[in-house]
Amino acid sequence: MALRGLGRLRDARLRAAAGVPVSQVFLALAGYVLLALAARTMPAAGFAAVSAFYLLLNTVGRGVFASVELETSRALAAADAAGEDGRPVLATAGRRAAVLLVAAVALSLAATPLLPDVEVACALALGSVTMAVSYCVRGPLAARRRFGAYSATFLLEAGFTLLGAAALAFAHVDAVATWVAVLVVSPGLAAVLVALRTVRAGLWTRLPGLWSTGSRVASRASVHRISLAALAWTSLFYLSSQGVWNLAPVSVTSSLAAAPTAAAGFVAVAVILRAPVFVFPAIQAVLLPSVSAAAQHDDREGTRRALRPLLVLLGAVTVPWLLVAVFVVPWLARLAFAVRDVPPWPATAALAASTIVGAAAFVLQTRVLAFRRHRDVGLAWLAGLCTLGLVSVVPGDARLWAALAQLAAAVVVLGGVLVADGRVGRVAARAH
């Protein structure tokens, strides 16, 4: 009976874990629905402003604070595996998130020239706050494998986004500030609701105890601390990765200012093909606790075994994904965003290939991060971002070179992650 109970619990956790990428896809679709409804409700300039806000919020908000979730998940899972109190980990995560919030607000205000007015720039800064709240909630949920609640944060965020966008479209609201407010409020509201539910369910201790950092408990858990340096490097790779996925459409829009129809077609196709990017952090959140626990016991083969199934799956879906990108996505872009001039098929294929390569890099970097080589991962993504910037300015068809730039950036990142993973293996060999 006890074994059957454990089996049912394991099956329930597997089903909940499988729902994580589904919730990420749903969130991506909700964002795209908002953009599609905005395109049909607002003037072209207003739609461009909302799109720019959407991309910047993903770059700054998710780029900065996804590192808090990742490091909290890693450190808390390791502390739990060692049978230690996780409260010092959570307390440190909160303090580190506050430091990163200052940086995110500064980046948001620095983006003012890219937005229509100061009011929208302030909304971007406020969006950084709501993103900080959401990722601080998700970290402990991922670490303790509460994937049902973890998925609920994304599902609720997507639901609020859809409801807000539908209401604005129905009322024919064309104010940019109102549309971006939906993107600002949704993540924070979803996270708060899930946090309240999990606190009542007993996942976390009472709030006063959560921030307790008594010396006895802190010294036992110091090996699982969340260092500011680790967060800085992790934030660098998330910011750089968001830049890799977001800046190609921005580059094309700038280059083709005199040909807005062609630019709009590229942006629509690129936005659709970047949908898998939303799944990458979810995959990492599911993998990282198991990989971190194996790394805690120096089980190198166990860390590889945890990643192998997803790498095989990526290989299996590569050809179908490329075919969908070339033959289905242009039609979908015309239908969803009412664009007329889609990019040529080599550009579409390059964009699709970049997401496969990027997914492989995300899966492999989970092992590198479990062994705390954040610097190597951060430098790999920074190198990819620099590659994007260099290739995208090559003279010629701006759409084709932007797509090739994104693919080249993903290849450079994958190469950097493979080099870092090789260093992990060499360190292990010398240790033995």
- Residue 243 CA to residue 248 CA, distance in Å, equals 8
Nearest-angstrom CA–CA distance, 66 and 61: 8
pLDDT, residue 317, reads: 85
Confidence of residue 429 (pLDDT cuts 50, 70, 90): very low
Least confident of 63-72, 153-162, 408-417: 63-72
In Å, what is the CA distance from 47 to each residue of 40, 180, 315?
A: 9, 11, 37
On the CB side of 83, how many CA atoms lie within 13 Å of its CA? 0
What is the pLDDT at residue 189?
93
* Among 346, 347, 355, CA closest to 414: 355
- Of residues 11 and 186, the one with the higher pLDDT is 186
Sign of CA dihedral 180, 182, 184, 187: negative
The burial class, CB within 10 Å (0-12 / 13-18 / 19+), for 15 is: exposed
Confidence of residue 216 (pLDDT cuts 50, 70, 90): very low
Q: Which of 299, 279, 257, 294 is nearest to 363 (CA)?
A: 279
156 by DSSP, 3-state: which? helix
Between residues 202 and 78, the one the model is more confident about = 78
Both tokens of 192, joined, read: 């708060």
DSSP 61: I
Quick one: DSSP state of residue 387?
Answer: H
pLDDT tens-digit series, residues 244-298:
988 888 777 777 767 777 877 888 898 889 878 777 766 776 776 667 666 665 6
Structure tokens at 108: 């948001």
Round to whole Å and give the CA distance between 52 and 253: 10
Residue 143 has pLDDT above 60, yes or no: yes
Which residue in 250, 239, 245, 252 sits closest to 275, CA to CA?
245
Res. 45 pLDDT band, cuts 50 70 90: low
The pLDDT value recorded for residue 107 is: 87
Better pLDDT: 165 or 150: 165
Encoding tokens for residue 167? Answer: 């209401």
Return the half-sphere exposure (C-beta side, CA atoms, 13 A cut-off) of residue 392.
Answer: 28
Model confidence over 316-375: pLDDT tens digits?
A: 888 999 999 999 999 998 888 877 788 999 999 999 999 999 988 988 888 887 777 778
Look at residue 233 and tell me whether its pLDDT is greater than 80: no
Indicate the average pLDDT of the chain.
79
**Domain extents in the chain:** 1-225, 227-432
